Amino acid sequence: MRISLKSLIASLVLLSGATSFPAAAQDAAANHLDVYKSPTCGCCTKWMDHLAENGFTSTGHHPDQLGEFKRELGIPVRYGSCHTGVSKDGYLFEGHVPARYIQQFLANPPEDALGLTVPAMPVGSPGMEYKDQFMAYEVLLLRKDGSVEVYAAVESYEQQFDTAPPLRKSLQTTQIVR
């Protein structure tokens, strides 16, 4: 397993609790996600690798009742996937959400947001790469009141990694019954 210097420094910051490291290391520490997943899920581990390649650190956890854990967090079953990332501020990132959208979200969290989700497991999303295949998908914004809206429409493989600001489309809002 390849670990970048930035990831190593961020891990040391987290372990030591130090605050005198350079700003870049502090930023990496701020971008830590606790990832709740099945211990046998390979795509979850690949998604965590994607996070590391994009400036995040992560720690994997394996709760006995993952589905119940997600329900307690407020993630509706219909918007679920195989893993859940939780930020230090309690924001949720369900499924194969590209790191660029997590970074964008954390830089300016929408009011009353619970987090972002990529329901199911779209082929070609981070952690779900298969040959040269890609299936367009939407990153959804989950709100605390149970509503959702389209945060980003991902139309190409490259768009997941593009550094240009993504378009945020509010096509519809749906009330979720829990």
When the candidates are 3.40.50.300, 3.40.190.100, 3.40.30.10, 3.40.50.2300, the CATH number that belongs to 31-160 is 3.40.30.10
* Closest residue by Cα to residue 115 from 128, 97, 127, 135: 97
As a residue count, the chain comes to: 178
Please write the tens of the pLDDT for every residue from 90-137.
999 999 999 999 999 999 999 999 999 999 999 999 999 999 999 999
Please write the tens of the pLDDT for every residue from 41-88.
888 899 999 999 999 999 999 999 999 999 999 999 999 898 999 999
Domain range annotation of the chain: 31-160
Helix axes 5-16, 23-30, angle to 10 degrees: 80
Written as one string, the DSSP assignment of 20-40 is -S-HHHHHHHHTEEEEE--TT
Q: Percent of the chain scored above 90 by pLDDT?
A: 63
How far apart are the two ends of the chain, measured CA to CA in Å?
A: 40
Tell me the sheet residues that pair with 61. Answer: 36
Categorize the per-residue pLDDT at 31 as very low, low, confident or very high, splitting at 50, 70 and 90. Answer: confident
Angle at the Cα of 79 from the Cα atoms of 75 and 81, rounded to 5 degrees: 90
Distance, CA of 31 to CA of 51 (rounded, Å) = 9
- Which helix (DSSP H) or strand (DSSP E) does residue 13 occupy? helix 5-16
Tell me the sheet residues that pair with 85. Answer: 35, 93
